[in-house]
Amino acid sequence: MLEESAKQLFATHCKAEHVRKAQQTGEIETLLNELVHAGFVDALVPEADGGAGLSLIDLAPVLFQAGAHAAPLPLGDTIVARTEPAVPSGSGAVAIAPGPLETTAKGRMLSNVPFGRVASYVIARSPADWHLLPLEEATVLASPSSGILGADLLWPHDAPNGLTVERQDWFRIGALMRAVEMAGAMGRLLEMTVAYAMEREQFGRAIAKQQAIQQQIGEMAEHCYAARISAELGLAGFTDPSASAIAKSRVSEAAVRVGAIAHAVHGAIGITEEHDLQLYTRRLVEARIAYGGESYWNRELGQALLNTTDSSMEFVLSVSARKKMPIDL
């Protein structure tokens, strides 16, 4: 149900042409309005407060669809942010700053904020607590190193501090949402790659008939499946930092092979601006390193395990205990 309506919404309002336009202009209003209207943006807000009262894992199909359409906004981040009393309803997109608010000669600055170009608010650490900062008064400077929609944000020295928010683990939430986005994008890349392999002919037959191509796409499918399931684990164990760490680490690792194979199979055409492949593969490159790459999250995980007396298996079981077995025991 949710998946079908999400699919339809993105297929209509988040076509490649919309994504390209958003990347040029930073304009996301129509898509955002549709997502609000469909009830997705306030899905976690309790029903009594006008939301849908769902949990994050219920929304997995919507978030994967957002990734599969390279949605040009931080949807998951915004959905979680909307549960914060400080965030006004009708807030627009809410981005998460990976680094702290810094005072510079030019003013107060947040660097390398993914989706900073399309956000209306940003949640940032300053210096110890997390605050909600409106972008109205900010100067938005594109910072391609944090993604095609990323930005450095600059406020005058006398800008207000912003309201504090309750949650304190936004860096991790940013990481988890990028993992989910990547898993969605990988599903789309697999579809595109299979379709292209069957259509492109060389040596008098479809390249899909070449065993070397089949083996690569077989491997690609494995990584896509693994990415999807570890992103789900992260969403199901939303409050568990280790579940997020598993998701971000595993999906990021998969993203490298999936991106590489997608490009290998597409040949030169996939390198062009005009081909849609880059809309997804560039997102993988960006999201993999946003909010910590594999090494960072692997280290966090390793330390988390070492700080317990659990065996590896016990530790893994404790993380997935939060997820329901598909059929009750």
Partner 1 sequence: MGFSAEFSRKMAEKGWLGLSIEKQYGGQEAGFFRRYVIVEELLAAGAPVSAHWIADRQSGPLIQRYGSEEQKQRYLPGICAGQSFFCIGMSEPNAGSDLASVRSRAEKTVGGWLLNGQKIWTTNATRSHYMIALVRTSGSAADRHQGLSQFVIDLSAPGVEIREIKDLNGDAHFSEVFFKDVFLPDDTLIGDEGAGWEQVTAELAFERSGPERILSSIVVLEGWLNWLRATPQSHDEKLGRAIAHLATLRELSISVTARLAAGESPIVQAAIVKDLGTSFEQELPVMIADALTADPRLQPPRSLMETTVFVAGAAPSYSLRGGTREILRGMIARGLGLR
Q: Which of 68, 180, 246, 255 binds partner 1 (CB under 8 A)?
A: 246
Asked if 235 is part of the footprint of partner 1 (rule: CB under 8 A), the reply reads no
CB 124, min distance to partner 1, A = 27
CB 36, min distance to partner 1, A = 32
Asked if 240 is part of the footprint of partner 1 (rule: CB under 8 A), the reply reads no
Q: How far apart are the first and last CA of the chain?
A: 26
DSSP 3-state helix, strand, coil percentages of the chain (rounded to 5)?
55, 10, 35
Residue with tokens 């965030």: 87
Instruction: Find the DSSP H helices in the chain.
Output: 2-13, 16-25, 29-37, 60-68, 75-81, 170-199, 211-236, 241-266, 277-289, 294-306, 312-320
Asked if 289 is part of the footprint of partner 1 (rule: CB under 8 A), the reply reads no
Contact segment (CB under 8 A) with partner 1 among 35-43, 87-95, 138-146, 296-304 equals: 296-304
CB 251, min distance to partner 1, A = 9
Q: Which of 229, 264, 285, 289 binds partner 1 (CB under 8 A)?
A: 229
Asked if 306 is part of the footprint of partner 1 (rule: CB under 8 A), the reply reads yes
Asked if 204 is part of the footprint of partner 1 (rule: CB under 8 A), the reply reads no
Asked if 233 is part of the footprint of partner 1 (rule: CB under 8 A), the reply reads yes
CB 318, min distance to partner 1, A = 10
Q: Which of 21, 38, 225, 322 binds partner 1 (CB under 8 A)?
A: 225
Buried b (16+ CB within 10 A) or exposed e, 285-295: ebbbbbbbbbe
Asked if 222 is part of the footprint of partner 1 (rule: CB under 8 A), the reply reads yes
User: Total residues at the site for partner 1 (CB under 8 A)?
Assistant: 50
CB 314, min distance to partner 1, A = 8
Strand partners, 121: 94, 134
- Residue 215 has which token pair? 């083996």
Stretch 147-186: interaction string toward partner 1, x if CB under 8 A: ----------------------------------------
Asked if 319 is part of the footprint of partner 1 (rule: CB under 8 A), the reply reads yes
What are the φ/ψ torsions at residue 97 (nearest 5 degrees)?
-85, 125
Q: How many CA atoms lie within 13 A of 16 on its CB side?
A: 10
Strand partners, 152: 141
Residue with tokens 């909600």: 132
> Are the C-beta atoms of residues 175 and 297 closer than 8 Å to each other?
yes
Nearest to 118 by CA among 101, 94, 134: 94
Asked if 272 is part of the footprint of partner 1 (rule: CB under 8 A), the reply reads no
Taking the least distance from each CB to partner 1, the nearer of 268 and 313 is 313
CB 1, min distance to partner 1, A = 20
> Is residue 117 classed exposed, middle or buried when 0-12, 13-18 and 19+ CB atoms within 10 A define those classes?
buried
The footprint of partner 1 (CB under 8 A) covers 190, 194, 197-198, 208-209, 211, 213-215, 217-219, 221-222, 225-226, 229-230, 232-233, 245-246, 249-250, 253, 294-295, 297-306, 311-313, 315-316, 319-320, 323, 325-327, 329
